[in-house]
Amino acid sequence: MILTMGEILVDILAEERGQGFLEPGRLLGPFPGGAPATFIVQAARLGARAGIISCVGDDDFGWLNVERLRRENVDVGAVRIDPDQVTASAFVRYREDGDRDFLFNLKRSAAGRIAIDGAARAMLAECAHFHIMGSSLFSFHIIDEMKKALELVRANGATISFDPNIRKEMLRIPEMRAGLEFMLGYTDIFMPSGPEILLPTDAKSERAAIDELLDLGVRMIVIKRNRKGASFYSNDDAFDVPAFPIEEADPTGAGDCFSAAFVTCLLKGMDMRRCVTYANAAGALAVSRKGGMEGIGGFAALDALIARSDLP
């Protein structure tokens, strides 16, 4: 089973580019979301047995997510419903240059109460691969719970992937930095986007950072490069795969779907180039629709996109 742990939230999007939250404006959503939730839905769509450890409130935002996860065949047995907390949310706005700003309700939401309880332990016992998102390391409490999960899955011989998924809004949270460095010690597959690779290292260049991380024991590094596709590095391999041309409707979810497709294909035993190609295709489909989960495709959709393009 592929398992992840972290925030389930709703995304509420400003409709127009340049629209801020200092005055009323049209909003789209709520969309089901949260980086771990998006990741696990993509894994399930590709046929993996998939589950998530999380917590939502007993409110519409929570139920919208739980229903969606259920429909997508994600095991929600370890999603706790906390009657005393409100489901997490993220309001997203887009700058004229395409950059995004997030207004999170996370730390004091139901997601802030995620804990390794009996249901989570039962799921962790069946875990073959565990995926962590840096965005989930938003409090000391979560980091502590995450450490418990890591110890349990490591003891069972599961592999571990880590996507730092840093939002600039989150770097203000001091816990995050400490959490990032700690997580790397457990990481088999590290999946940063572009310059994020420098964050947990002392390196000044990407190549130096790659070497530092491989020396640390990370087995594979997959760098997401947005419209430029992605690159793969291990001790005995290094290659780039270009992105698929696609009309971008909303960048939310690209990295999460990319990582899920890579991990799922890897567990199916595909060769690395094929894994990265499917990951690029999943990222491209993710950005083709508004809302983090709305563009997610299964193998049929990914194969169709690959067949439409001229890429080998």
| CA–CA distances in Å: residue 96 to residues 17, 20, 54, 150 | 6, 11, 34, 40
Shortest approach of ligand ATP to residue 99 CB, angstroms?
11
Would you say 23 or 247 has its CB closer to ligand ATP?
247
299-308 and 272-287 helices, crossing angle to 10°: 90
CA atoms within 13 A on the CB side of 74: 28
Length of the chain equals: 312
Would you say 179 or 253 has its CB closer to ligand ATP?
253
Residues 6+ apart with CB under 8 A from 285: 246, 257, 295, 296, 297, 301, 302, 305
As a whole number of angstroms, the distance between CA 67 and CA 274 comes to 32
Shortest approach of ligand ATP to residue 251 CB, angstroms?
5
As a whole number of angstroms, the distance between CA 27 and CA 91 comes to 9
Query: What tokens does 23 get?
Result: 């005055």
Residues of the shown chain interacting with ligand ATP in the complex, contacts defined by CB under 6 A: 165, 193, 224-227, 229-230, 243-244, 246, 248, 251, 253-256, 258, 280, 283-284, 287
30 preceded by cis ω (within 30°)?
yes
As a whole number of angstroms, the distance between CA 25 and CA 12 comes to 12
Shortest approach of ligand ATP to residue 192 CB, angstroms?
8
Would you say 51 or 283 has its CB closer to ligand ATP?
283
Would you say 34 or 229 has its CB closer to ligand ATP?
229
35-45 and 272-287 helices, crossing angle to 10°: 120
Shortest approach of ligand ATP to residue 52 CB, angstroms?
17
Shortest approach of ligand ATP to residue 20 CB, angstroms?
20
Would you say 42 or 280 has its CB closer to ligand ATP?
280
Shortest approach of ligand ATP to residue 224 CB, angstroms?
3
Beta bridge partners of 102: 92
Shortest approach of ligand ATP to residue 120 CB, angstroms?
25
SS (H, E, C) 244-260: CCCCCCCCCCHHHHHHH
Shortest approach of ligand ATP to residue 91 CB, angstroms?
16
Would you say 97 or 215 has its CB closer to ligand ATP?
97
Would you say 123 or 261 has its CB closer to ligand ATP?
261
Neighbour count for residue 167 (Cβ, 10 Å): 18
- The DSSP 8-state label assigned to residue 227 in this structure reads G
Query: What tokens does 289 get?
Result: 């629709």
Would you say 149 or 191 has its CB closer to ligand ATP?
191
